[in-house]
Amino acid sequence: MERFRLGVLLPISTFLCFCVSCAAPPAASGGDGGATPASSALERLLEDAWQFRLREDPLLATRAGDHRYDHLLPAVSEPDQQRRLQAERDYLERLLRIPKADLSHDEQVSYDVFRRLAEDRIREAEFRTYRIPITNREGFHVSFPQLPDETPLATVADYEHYIARLEGFLAYERQHVALMREGIATGWVLPRVVLEGIEGALQAHIVEQPQQSLLYRPFQDFPDSLPAEQRGRLEDAGRRAIQQSVVPGYREFLQFMRDEYLPAARPGIAASDLPGGREYYAFKLRSYTTLDLTPEQVHATGQSEVARIQGEMQGVMARVGFSGSIAAFADALRNDPRFHPRTPEELMQRTAYVLKKMDGELPKLFATLPRMPYGIKPIPDFIAPKTTTAYYDAPAGDGTRAGFYAVNLYDLPSRPLYEVEALSLHEAVPGHHLQIALQQELEDLPAFRRFDGFTVFVEGWALYAERLGLEVGFYQDPYSDFGRLTYEMWRACRLVVDTGMHALGWSRQQAIDFMLANTALSRRNIEAEVDRYISWPGQALAYKTGELRIRELRARAERELGPRFDLRVFHDVVLRSGSVPLDVLEQNVTRWIEESR
């Protein structure tokens, strides 16, 4: 549910003017006056830094719709990491020389967003977190086989670029292995428990014949636009690249994992166990929440939210006449075949129905909707057993590929139908697709703000979006409403278990037991989620933290504006600046409230 394949996060559109009872929000950007030396300096800096990022990360460039580097893969060696660190420091130094007071309001937002992102990237590089370049379900070894879905493949040049990336995979893999060897030498390695199953996932790409590789798909389905006389040559080159680079790369990586990495993996699970781990976890907590909070504060907020949601769950249980505990009710739901999809098609059809129904309700909630459509698709078989229940893939930055909501069809009894409404609203509309596609379409914003962002905003919005279903007729079935509550409880539990495991001494089993007792998620989902929290410290804190802040800001606006409050305008105020830190979001809402009185 957290996966975004574009920059740090992602992107929004030029908002249309509209007449409402409250004052319409000011334009997303454009400044409060004419260009000044400070404005010009900021514009040059933001463009220079963005072009640097595109050169340094050709995969990001491709996803953002810039195809100058489609033939390249990122250089990830230690010297390259240090070179990028120095560049980030230089860009931050240039920023700090610009007098912020001389900038317009919207330029000051760009200043603040760029500063936070740069400071986070610098601190990340100073910790040398690139020594752990994979998680239990993410990394170059997982993303590379999905290259055909993210690469333009319409012309001979497109195919030649694609083949060049296939040919570069072996060197790309070896650079990652070198980083991981440095991690072994310095004690920066993943916990052993989250690496179970990785050998099978890698083995799936070590094929006898190139035609068996997922990366061969483009050569089995050439577009009509490709000249027939070129197809044989391109297919031969693709076959050789898979034989000589891709398969050897996966074979080498599997051997490295078996012989070196797995034996060196940590027995413990806490980020605080790493060298400098306590400081590292404190940094990740601040980075993912954009707030200055301690693990104890976040843990306490989680416990408070768990208690509140338990009360709402008990209300649903009373409606259906269940008198036992929440854990017993959740267990009964998990094991009730009524809620198990009988076929993959049933789950996909239910998902499509929910989203089509929500499409028709969106104008009641939003004055501005994205132009880019979205689709739904199954999660690829090779990652489905070890990944989450769903995720969202952002549209291509140049508009050539829609956004997609990917649904996990593996082990259908663990994908209960009472979760479909909440999950679909989170991943597609009014959640990730609506927010991210709009952000990509915000053409007045600097490019980095269309294709970068903050997990706390993106995931906080998506969790808030689940609750919006209550306002337009969703969750009428009590079991579906319990599904919504169990998803909200899931995110509240994350505040407890992430801080518990990484800072407060909790074991993996404690985390699993806590979530089994408080949510109706299947055991498979819970175990996969807990392993994700172990391998990705702090990321799971973003969802509930962001949602709580958005709800607080909405309640404040409703209270202070009274009958002048317009929900559609509030949503545009939240979304119009793209993905921003929570302090910047609060400043934007405060400014709108003051202008709307």
Strand partners, 266: 191
Long-range contacts of 344-348 (CB under 8 A, 24+ apart): 344/378, 344/409, 344/412, 347/407, 347/409, 347/412, 347/415, 347/417, 347/420, 348/376, 348/378, 348/407, 348/409
What strand order describes the sheet that includes 374-378? 374-378, 403-407, 390-393
Q: Is residue 21 part of a domain?
A: no
How many CA atoms lie within 13 Å of 347's alpha carbon, on the beta-carbon side? Answer: 28
Task: Say yes or no: 260 and 382 in one domain.
Answer: no
**From the CB of residue 317, how many other CB atoms can be counted at a distance below 10 Å?**
19
Task: Say yes or no: 372 and 296 in one domain.
Answer: yes
Q: Is residue 202 part of a domain?
A: yes
- 159/220 Cα distance (integer angstroms): 12
Task: Say yes or no: 315 and 443 in one domain.
Answer: yes
Task: Say yes or no: 292 and 257 in one domain.
Answer: no
- 411/120 Cα distance (integer angstroms): 38
pLDDT at residue 6, rounded to an integer: 44
Task: Say yes or no: 260 and 125 in one domain.
Answer: yes
Q: How far is CA 354 from CA 349, 368, 429, 430, in A?
A: 9, 21, 10, 12
pLDDT at residue 19, rounded to an integer: 30
Domain boundary, last residue among 219, 249, 271: 271
pLDDT in tens, 65-110: 999 999 999 999 999 999 999 999 999 999 999 999 999 999 999 9
560 CA to centre of own chain = 33
- 455-468 vs 542-561: helix axis angle to the nearest 10? 60
pLDDT band at 522 (very low <50, low <70, confident <90, very high): confident
Per-residue pLDDT, averaged over 237-253, amounts to 99
Per-residue pLDDT, averaged over 572-593, amounts to 98
Burial 362-394 (b: 16+ CB within 10 A, else e): eeebbbbbbebebebeebeebbbbbbbbbbbbb
The SS3 of residue 507 is coil
Q: How many domains does the chain have?
A: 2
The SS3 of residue 361 is coil
Domain boundary, last residue among 528, 543, 558: 543
Task: Say yes or no: 245 and 355 in one domain.
Answer: no
pLDDT in tens, 466-480: 999 999 999 999 999
Per-residue pLDDT, averaged over 352-371, amounts to 98
Average model confidence (pLDDT) for the chain?
93
pLDDT in tens, 103-151: 999 999 999 999 999 999 999 999 999 999 998 788 999 999 999 999 9
pLDDT at residue 459, rounded to an integer: 98
Task: Say yes or no: 172 and 206 in one domain.
Answer: yes
State percent of the chain over pLDDT 70: 94
pLDDT at residue 34, rounded to an integer: 58
pLDDT at residue 84, rounded to an integer: 98
Residue 182 has pLDDT above 90, yes or no: yes
Task: Give residue 116's domain range.
Answer: 37-271
Domain boundary, last residue among 271, 299, 319: 271
pLDDT at residue 17, rounded to an integer: 30
DSSP E strands, 417-549 = none
Q: 72 Cβ partners below 8 Å, 6+ apart?
A: 58, 164, 165, 168
Task: Say yes or no: 46 and 155 in one domain.
Answer: yes
Nearest to 313 by CA among 556, 148, 478: 478
Per-residue pLDDT, averaged over 162-178, amounts to 99
Q: Is residue 153 part of a domain?
A: yes
Q: Among 191-200, 422-431, 576-585, which stretch is predicted with the lowest mean pLDDT?
A: 191-200
Nearest to 50 by CA among 449, 576, 457, 441: 449
Task: Say yes or no: 53 and 181 in one domain.
Answer: yes
Q: What are phi and psi of 141, to 5 degrees?
A: -70, -25
The 8-class DSSP code of residue 214 comes to: G
Residue 25 has pLDDT above 90, yes or no: no
pLDDT band at 450 (very low <50, low <70, confident <90, very high): very high
Task: Say yes or no: 381 and 447 in one domain.
Answer: yes
